[in-house]
Amino acid sequence: MAYTCRDFINKNMKNKVVIISGASSGIGKALAEEFSKRGSKVVMAARNFDKLEEIATILKQNNKNVLTVKTDVSKEDQCKRLVEKTIESFGQIDILINNAGISMRAIFEELDLKVIRDLMNVNFWGTVYCTKYALPYLLKSHGSVVGVSSIGGYKGLPGRTGYSASKFAIHGFLEVLRIENLKKNLHVMIACPGFTSSNIRNTALGKDGNQQGESPRDESKMMSAEKVANYIANAIKKRKRSLILTGQGKMTVFLNKFIPSYLDKIVYKHMAKEPGSPFK
């Protein structure tokens, strides 16, 4: 029997235990679907438990090894519980994908500092908490820790101080984690999807902490969450250290190394063109 490349990839991921935070929508939901198709044992975590259960019901039609755990990653005890529930059900952890995250849009001058605290608690501390409790099992399995980040973690994005700050912090944390465990065969990857069609902009916080409700960007022109999930899964299989998607994202990182001052102006103009931009 002839095997396709897809068959090999699926075999490689079969029975791997994968924890995905923020799995109730967007990239997280797409990742759960992707790993489920590959035969992995999927652990879905998010605050919206009803939505998790709805997705899990569909996934279980073809993969019985799906676990849902209601988790607010900004709460340390809930992240610990997520890991404990995973071990109780499956006995190991092979891949942790820190995907849960929220965004914001407001200039710092007008921003309620609570917004930055909320973003750091979910985006940064959520990554730290989940990784801390999963790490002993990931070291045992020589597994993978993944942070779903953003180009905003390479280049500061105006109007998104809290978001960029949290992503820069994630990058620093994961880079140190990688170096500390060089001799322990732990795989650490930072994935930066670029602008993706998901609900993160709809749920982004405004200057007062309320959700902005409508996305300021044309979602139809963005990469789909399903395509992003496929790229991330393949990169984990290859144990890549970083993944930067979209030509715009790759160009931004490249230019920032050589002409950062000029790129500041380009980024300012680009972000100022958003409908309802908080700066001009």
Instruction: Tell me the per-residue pLDDT of 170-179, one tens digit each, with 9 for 90 and over.
Output: 999 999 999 9
Distances (CA, A) of 17 to 7, 75, 280: 18, 22, 47
Higher pLDDT, 69 or 211: 69
Domains (ranges, CATH) in the chain?
5-272 (3.40.50.720)
- pLDDT tens readout for residues 68-92: 999 999 999 999 999 999 999 999 9
Q: Output the pLDDT for position 8.
A: 45
**Closest C-alpha to 36, from 7, 3, 9, 59:** 59
Q: Check 133, 137, 154, 163 and give the catalytic one.
A: 163
Spatial separation of the C-alpha atoms in residues 163 and 107, rounded to whole Å: 12
Distances (CA, A) of 238 to 102, 187, 194, 275: 28, 10, 20, 39
Question: Is residue 163 annotated as part of the catalytic site, yes or no?
Answer: yes
What proportion of the chain, given as a percentage, has pLDDT over 70? Answer: 90
Evaluate the CA torsion angle 232, 178, 97, 103 in order and state its sign. Answer: negative
Answer whether 0.85 is exceeded by the pTM: yes
Let me know how long the chain is.
280
